[in-house]
Every structure is written in C-alpha cells, then in structure tokens.
Structure 1
C-alpha cells in the first residue's frame, strides 16, 4: 500500500513536471513571464521565488500548472480596491514590493489602502496612506515589482510586454504545444530505457532462438536457427502467428514445416498440454530469437512508442464510432489502481506504465477541447487564419465553458472509477 502510494506520487509528479516544464521553457524563450510554476494542486506547502518565477509545491499531487502572465491561470484578485497593503520603495521612489499578506512584514513599509491601480500598462498604484482618506496618493510601480499574496507567496507583477498575448503567434503556439511534446519525448526515452533493461529484444520473427532440452521440439529434431513457416499447412509470418497456431493444438498432432540452411523440411509432433491460468495451451519447448545489439534496443523503444500511441488513438476512435462510455476514461483513481498493478511487476512494470501514461497525457491534451492545450492551439490557428487577435471576451467564454466541461467530466470519471475499483 505504502509503496503504491509513493510510486503513484513519483509517477504523477514526473508526468506533471515534464509536461509543465515544456510550457515553462518555451514561454521563457519567448519572453513570456512565468509568474508561477506549480506541482500539485490546492494549498501551498512550499514555495521559492527566483528570477521572476515562484516555484510551488502544493498539497494534492493531482496535477500542476504554469501561471503565465496574462494567461488563463493568471486570475489575480489579490489587490482589489479597499485592500490594505504595505509598499516597499527603491531609491528612485518606485514601488518594488506590494505586501497584501498579514504573514509577512516589510521593513519600513508604507501602509496603503488601495483605491485604484494599473499594474499592466502605466504601472502605478494609488490609495490612502496611513489611513488618511482626505487625499489619494499615487506611486509609480517598478516594472519588475513583486506582490506578496495573502498566503505569503511572492509573485512578480505582469506588465503587458511580458504577457503571453504580447508574444508572437508562433511563440504562443510553441508554448502551448510544448507540454504534450515533452510528454511524447518522455515516453520515447522511457521506452528506450526499457529496451536496454531487457536481457534481449524479441525479433518477432518465426525463427527459433533456442530449443529447450528434452522438449517436444528437441525430440522432433528442431534446432536453433530453424524458421517455422507453416503449422498444419497455414503460413506463419511471425512468432506470434506461429505460437498461436501451436498453442491452439494441445495434445493434438500437428505438422510443422520449417527451413534450415535454405532447405524446406517437415516434421510431425504433439504439443504438450500446459495450464496457463484458466486456459489449456500447447507448447513444444522453443524460445524466440532475441538480439542484444544497440540498434535493436533503440528500435524496440521506437516500436513500443509507436505501438502505444496507435493503441490510444484506436481507443479514442472507438469512443467516437461506437459510443462514449465513462469506462473508456480514467482519472487519478484509475491511475492509482494501474500504479498498484505496475508496482507488482517491478521497476520495468512501473517504467512501462509511466511511458504509457505520458503518451496518453500528451494525446489527450492535444484534443481540441477549450482549456486544454489542443483547444488553445485551435484558437491560435483561427487567429492565424483571420489574421487578428480573437476578442478577449469570446476567448474567455470559450475557455470558461471548456473548464466547466472538464471539471464536470473529471467529477463523473472519478466517481465512476471509485465505483469500478472500490465499490463494485
């Protein structure tokens, strides 16, 4: 139980960290201010402010985000009119820190009750100083000033020139795409690592790698290097087809045609009856050919990456063509259940699970749903087609609808997962 919980937190943390780092890195490259880089959701349990970005770890390991200046997550309601704050000034009499928290005290801070502010374009803040409501005083705010929020977390203000909408369209598109892209890269790297942890890479050819001593195949004269081409007259193009044909004939005589040194040979044998779970299968005692060279291991990683991506697309296609079901989706509860199964298979099981989840996260995030990265990219493409910015009101409504849809879907999926794994 404890190992599963720790593994779940590590796997989920890696997925979120890699995904959000993609957004973070390309936003920084584009000159977009990343106000906060958060791992986890809910209350903050640790934070550190460095180079204009506040790095936070939150209590619930169920996601994360980057708070881009002017982005969807950048909803700053800390400095409303009437809010009491203290100001810290620099030598040029500019405000460099605005403290709205009772948990932090500024040295020689100037008490102010906010009347109005502009921290985007003209960079000023005005209000009543020391409780004197007879006049409103206005102070210039430094471009790189910080705000200490109510919970004590320090973040940079967001002037317009460092907001995401001030970046070029290609830079914004790359920033939105970078999260899923990083998930694909992570999956490929993990699958390649898996390729190097395996003792050998199956070739899936119909060539025998090894014949077990005293087995049915050994007694029939089969040798390593023989290529089984037909079973009971049916062609076998690869190892999977060949083993399926043999396993379906337990304790029954079969005719095996094979090639050795370019010559065709034929032999009859009776596969041994073996119990595999609840099934009875036939075995003749042969093992698949395996390779250990670097190229084969790299190819294995790429093949598993493509195979996993294709499988996920097939599932999505099935949902659209055969009807939607909540059982086709899985939230944190399903991931936890999957983590439990993967943990029982050891390190390789966890790595394979991590790679599959990473591909899944990347593909799902690219779906054209508002509030997901794919939805943002669709808006970017529309902007490129019409050659003008989409009205903020329209974009805000679309994003809000997307968030509401995702929130409702997450609630339904989570409840369905709880029923599937813990109640039924």
Structure 2
C-alpha cells in the first residue's frame, strides 16, 4: 500500500494540471493577441470564480474553484468552447473587427491550433532540459542478454544482435525498442536484425507480463525478453537536446495514438481508461519519488493533453479545426444547425467518457471494493 500523505495528492495534482492548463490556454491567448483578437476572459478552472482581475486590455483573468481545465473566451464567443455569439455581427464595427468570428479562417485555425502546439512545445522544453542536465541515452539497440524461454530466445535472437527496425520503424537506441514493444499488447512484430555482416528478418510475438509497482498499481506490458548491454549516457548541447525532446514527444504521441486505436477496436478494455482522479493519484505517487519525476510526469501529461485536444471531436480543439477545414474547402461555414448538433453530440460524448473514466478511477483507488465489503 502507498504511504503517500493525502495532502500530497492534491498539491501534486494542482502542481501538474494547473501549469499545463495555463500553458494550453496561454497558447490560444497569445496567438489570438498576435492576430488582433480581443480576449474577454482567461480562466483557469471552471465554475464559480475564486478571485480575478482585469488587465489594461480588458481581459478578465480568473481562478475558478473546479481545477479540471480552463478556457479563453474571445470577443464574439458565446461561451467557453468558442461557439459564436448569434449577435456578434451587431457589434460596433471597431469591436467587431477584433472579435474571433470576424477573423479569416486561417487565423481562427492558428489560434485554436496554438493550444495543443504549446503543450507539445512545453513538453519538448522539459525533455530537452532533462537531456542537457542528465545526458541523452545513447545505449545502442544491441541485445546484451536474451532471457531463456522468452519470445526473443524462441525466435533465435542472440546477444550481440543489433535490432535495426521494428515494424519498419528505425531503432536508434535501446529505449526505442522498449517504446515500440511495451504498449502494443503482444501483437506479432517484424524485426530487422543485423548479426555481423548479415541482415535478416524475424517475426516475434511478445509476452504480456503483469507488474505491480511499489504503490500497489497493477499494469501489463509486452516484452521480447531481451536486455541491453552497458547503459550509455552522453552530455548534449541545446540543439541536440531539443532534437531529443522532439523525438521523445513524437514517440509518446505515437504510443498514445496506438493505445487509442486499441480502445476503438476493442483490443484494449475501456477499464484501462483513466481520468482526473487517476492523474491525481499518480501525481501524488510520482511526487513522493522526487521533483524530477514529477516534472517528467508533467511533460508526459502535457503531450497527452495536446494530443487529446487535437481529436476531431466537437468541443475539443480538433473539432473546431474540423469545421474550419470544411469552411476552407467549401468557402463557407458549416450550417449553424449542423454545428449546434455536433457540439451537442460532442458534449454528450465527453460527459459519457468522463463518467466512464471516473468510474474506473474510483475503482483504482478501491472505492467499489470498499462499498462491496460494506454491503457484504
């Protein structure tokens, strides 16, 4: 069981989510400002305002009591999800020119895209800083040891083999192998292997192993049954560190997309979905291991936040971009009624998803087991 104090869960959760929400919304805000759009409100959190102030540009900055997100409401927006106000065209001309709906579609798309992109840039900066501080992993993608009885041994991999590709993707360092295999649910994978002067292909079906961490969390991952040789970390300069941050961010996005596809196809159970309660739990546990681990976790969550917001679901940034794409192609906006119904669908889908992940999250902290014991 975890010995993490209760207060640390709340503090760590706010320390992770608060800055990430600010970064995301500030991306929208600053690009909107560059595009000449007035922001009426910048809110961290939803619901009742705890405190706030209005700056010289007329933007009200708010901190609200429900810290599960945030929003920037631009002039001409009807609500926090940037649905246009039906009366925006009746605004005085000077004000209307600085409203969001009056902007050309490319400006609106840039403003919307800026939120997720800023999340990615924030994560890249963190990962680059870690690479500069601790060095970059240069452990070659070479098999140092093969575990007997595991798929790698069965397939004939040997110590000293260099894995060049997995599924057509280049393996530069040993970490790339783990990233390519771990979350793919044990599906058969094609390997390109170099042994001496010979290159050949292998098809290997990884094993699924179950693990329990020091906090009692259970998880599954796929393994080939190989280990690296001596770990190699080398110091890097700013340019190489940024490249490393980009590579890691792309790898995490690819992994997240793969897991999402598994949910959609049914290969992965929706019981594995998690939400704010699980993030809070994990934040506290990671914080108990040290500030470096918490900062790295924040980078991971930032990447996921950016990725999820790009999904083409109404109410998310990706949903807005989908409509702007339609507008750019058809030279006119989608019919207001179609947008309204799409946003209603998006709202219902997000509420349903939140109910599912909250149910899962409560199960992960033992709520349902506790209720069952009380009833029994």
**TM, length-normalised to structure 1:** 0.62
Pairs within 5 Å for 1:21-420: 21-50=26-55, 51-73=57-79, 121=90, 159-198=95-134, 200-205=135-140, 234-237=159-162, 240=174, 287-294=230-237, 297-323=241-267, 325-420=269-364
- In 2 relative to 1, CA 72–345 (structure 1 residues): closer, same or farther, beyond 3 Å? farther
Question: 1:59 offset after TM fit, Å?
Answer: 1.2
**In structure 2, how many angstroms separate the alpha carbons of the residues matched to 1:400 and 1:207?**
52
Question: 1:371 offset after TM fit, Å?
Answer: 0.8
**In structure 2, how many angstroms separate the alpha carbons of the residues matched to 1:289 and 1:389?**
54
**In structure 2, how many angstroms separate the alpha carbons of the residues matched to 1:413 and 1:26?**
32
1:143-172 deviations in Å (ceiling 9; x for gaps): 89xxxxxxxxxxxxxx53332210011000
**In structure 2, how many angstroms separate the alpha carbons of the residues matched to 1:317 and 1:359?**
17
**In structure 2, how many angstroms separate the alpha carbons of the residues matched to 1:358 and 1:233?**
38
Question: 1:43 offset after TM fit, Å?
Answer: 1.0
**In structure 1, how many angstroms separate the alpha carbons of the residues matched to 2:234 and 2:10?**
36
More strand by share: 1
**In structure 1, how many angstroms separate the alpha carbons of the residues matched to 2:263 and 2:81?**
35
* Cα root mean square deviation, aligned: 3.6
User: Is the contact between residue 194 and residue 351 of structure 1 (CA under 8 Å) also seen in structure 2?
Assistant: no
- In 2 relative to 1, CA 36–390 (structure 1 residues): closer, same or farther, beyond 3 Å? same
**TM, length-normalised to structure 2:** 0.69
Question: 1:362 offset after TM fit, Å?
Answer: 0.7
More helix by share: 2
> Which structure has the larger Rg?
1
- In 2 relative to 1, CA 72–421 (structure 1 residues): closer, same or farther, beyond 3 Å? farther
The equivalent of 1:4 in structure 2 is 9
- In 2 relative to 1, CA 161–235 (structure 1 residues): closer, same or farther, beyond 3 Å? same
Higher relative contact order (CA 8 A, sep 6+): 2
Question: 1:337 offset after TM fit, Å?
Answer: 1.6
**In structure 2, how many angstroms separate the alpha carbons of the residues matched to 1:364 and 1:309?**
10
Point out the more displaced range, 401-410 or 10-19.
401-410
